[in-house]
Amino acid sequence: MRTDYCGELRGEDSGRTVSLCGWVSRRREHGEHLAFIDLRDHTGIVQVVVDHAHDIRSEYVLRVTGKVRMRPEGTRNPNLPTGDVEVCDCEVETLSRAEPPPFPLDERLETDENIRLKYRYVDLRRERMQRNLRVRAKVNSAIRRSMEQQGFVEIETPMLIANTPEGARDFVVPSRLKPGSFYALPQSPQLFKQLCMVGGVDRYYQIARCLRDEDLRADRQFEFTQLDAEASFVSQVDVREFITNAVASATEAVTGQRPAEFPSITWHDAMERYGTDKPDIRFGLELIELTGLFAHTEFKVFQADCVKGIRVPGGADHTRKQLDALTEKVKLWGAKGLVWLKVEEDLSLNSPITKFLSDAETENLLGAMDAEAGDLLLIVADRRATARHVLGLLRLELGRPPVAEGGLHFLWVVDFPLFEDLDEEGLPVPAHHPFTMPKEEDLALLDSEGKGLLEIRAQAYDLVLNGWELGSGSVRVHRPDIQQKVFDAWGIARPDAEQRFGFLLDAFGYGAPPHAGFAFGIDRLVAILVGEENIREVIAFPKTQTGGDPLTEAPMEIAPDHLTDLGLRLLPHKS
């Protein structure tokens, strides 16, 4: 049907007779018998010279057969890769007529996303979406190649699985053959990949669709895609190397440049210096520890579990209004308040709280924060977890560059704790799933209670890129005695564990190899590689923030008969 792609014709093709297929991108009409058509396919556009007598409109699908020739001197278009040539003496076949598009396909204009999604099939024709989808395919392909080279075997795992009450909310599918029973859709293939290890697969991987029924965000969809991997008889260092190789290969396939070795930071340092377990290290504004400095202060606000601050270079030009707005935000995020201090030209401090600080405290504060004239100092005093969290958010608010700027800064975060914190009832809040292996030297701490549990470090690690959590992994528990202790620490009673994970524990009774694994989000990796703020831009058919699809109008009600088949009856709607 066609001999060439539109965007690939060059001067060398001059003289050839070609057949092209594509959409009418733009037309320029000059009188009765001359019109220029920009014909577009996924490779780009080329100018076609036709008789204006043809009825040709925007987005008509054409097959054009004609002769490639150099454009007349002075009419070449240097802005177009195909700008030296045009196709003339054309026979034009209209393969499809088209309504005028519901929005301009022009890249210069932003269009309301709801409309783009409703007409996604039109939106996908745009250069941006074509590029994003093709980059994504390249990433998948590079990942597969890398994993295969490293001895991993691609295995598919089931989509209809047992519901596990832990973690995120499961999507659920009613069973027709067993009314009243439900399958869950997988949040990840976690348990199955561990079963593969028991099954002697040695090295498993899968580009896996995962589903979690949690509120959507710019970097979160109900459905997302992960590289999921697991390997036997390996250390966490080995796993990080496998994953680094795969991610570096994917990055290289897109950017042409293989990233340097990924640095690593401990979870503890990340929390203290960046206030988050996924630091964006493209910029400074690190958190500065001040607790010791105010250990004996008279100032009540600073008599807190933790006092930390950030220095905003040149930030003293913030207005009172802006500072009040920041204070409001900080309160919404959970802090009691925000202390701000402006550093004046003479290095004195301009702040509502200066009168509560001793001269020595002021001097020490300036020194600890490396303060210079014109800086803004922001300080939060609170519970340590709160102070870190709030300052971490504040840091992003004040300094985070746009996604496409600042380069690619991969970072391994290692030595995650087994438990991140204690909740209001004093129960430990797990940092990972309950099959995460503690560090050998911390195993004894499994017998402790309360705060002691927080000291346990896990053999768990996250991969972070520019402040986005790409993924996480861990060495898994493969010994039943340690597993039992971990369940005890979690507060999972033995019968519960039996009911929820019995099949895995049984499997481990039949010869489980030591194993470790990882999973990372391909949507997020691709979004950052193409410079998109939102993963919807790298997903062909995404959902809106309320989980709907404007194109197909999912989710929708189903027929009463269908419900009856499934043994279901609906409750009345909440009014």
Partner RNA sequence: GGUCCCGUGGUGCAGUUUGGAGUGCACGCCGCCCUGUCAAGGCGGAGGUCGCGGGUUCAAAUCCCGUCGGGACCGCCA
Which of 93, 148, 166, 405 touches RNA (CB under 7 A)? 166
Q: Which of residues 316-345 bind RNA (CB under 7 A)?
A: 332-334
Residue 225 burial class via C-beta count within 10 angstroms: exposed 0-12, middle 13-18, buried 19 and up: buried
Q: Which is nearer to RNA, 131 or 217 (CB)?
A: 217
Rg over alpha carbons for the chain, rounded to the nearest Å, is 30
Binding mask 172-191 for RNA (x = CB under 7 A): ---------------xx-x-
Question: Contact, 458 vs 436, CB < 8 A?
Answer: yes
Take residue 10 and report the two structure tokens written for it: 């060059």
Which of 65, 245, 348, 534 touches RNA (CB under 7 A)? 534
Q: Which of 147, 228, 217, 152 is nearest to 187 (CA)?
A: 228
**DSSP state, 358?**
-
Question: Contact, 77 vs 83, CB < 8 A?
Answer: yes
**DSSP state, 467?**
T
Q: Which is nearer to RNA, 55 or 346 (CB)?
A: 55
Closest CB 69 distance from RNA, rounded Å: 8
Binding mask 191-230 for RNA (x = CB under 7 A): ---------------------x-xxxxxxx----------
Closest CB 112 distance from RNA, rounded Å: 3
Which of 120, 432, 478, 524 touches RNA (CB under 7 A)? 432
Q: Which is nearer to RNA, 65 or 534 (CB)?
A: 534
- Whether the ω angle into residue 434 lies within 30 degrees of 0, i.e. cis, is no
Residue 474's CB: how many other CB atoms inside 10 A? 23
Q: Which of residues 39-58 bind RNA (CB under 7 A)?
A: 47, 49, 52, 57-58
Q: Can residue 545 be called a binding residue for RNA (CB under 7 A)? A: yes
Q: Which of residues 380-399 bind RNA (CB under 7 A)?
A: 389, 393
Length of the chain: 575
Q: Which is nearer to RNA, 342 or 476 (CB)?
A: 476
Take residue 261 and report the two structure tokens written for it: 């070795």
Q: Which of 189, 184, 183 is nearest to 209 (CA)?
A: 189
Q: Which is nearer to RNA, 83 or 374 (CB)?
A: 83
Closest CB 176 distance from RNA, rounded Å: 27
Q: Which of residues 59-118 bind RNA (CB under 7 A)?
A: 71-72, 74-77, 79-80, 83, 86, 88, 100, 102-104, 106, 108-115
Q: Which is nearer to RNA, 113 or 269 (CB)?
A: 113
Q: Reduced to 3 states, what is the DSSP secondary structure of residue 34?
A: coil
Q: Which of residues 476-505 bind RNA (CB under 7 A)?
A: none
Q: Which one of the spans 230-238, 302-310, 359-367, 424-432 is the region binding RNA (CB under 7 A)?
A: 424-432
Q: Which one of the spans 252-260, 288-296, 474-482, 545-553 is the region binding RNA (CB under 7 A)?
A: 545-553
Closest CB 534 distance from RNA, rounded Å: 4
Q: Which of 488, 485, 490 is nearest to 432 (CA)?
A: 490
Pair type for strands 153-154 and 203-211: parallel
Q: Reduced to 3 states, what is the DSSP secondary structure of residue 543?
A: coil
Q: Which one of the spans 200-208, 291-299, 426-434, 450-458 is the region binding RNA (CB under 7 A)?
A: 426-434
Which of 125, 544, 551, 568 touches RNA (CB under 7 A)? 544
| SS3 sequence of 179-208 | CCCEEECCCCCHHHHHHHHHCCCCEEEEEE
Question: Contact, 90 vs 49, CB < 8 A?
Answer: yes
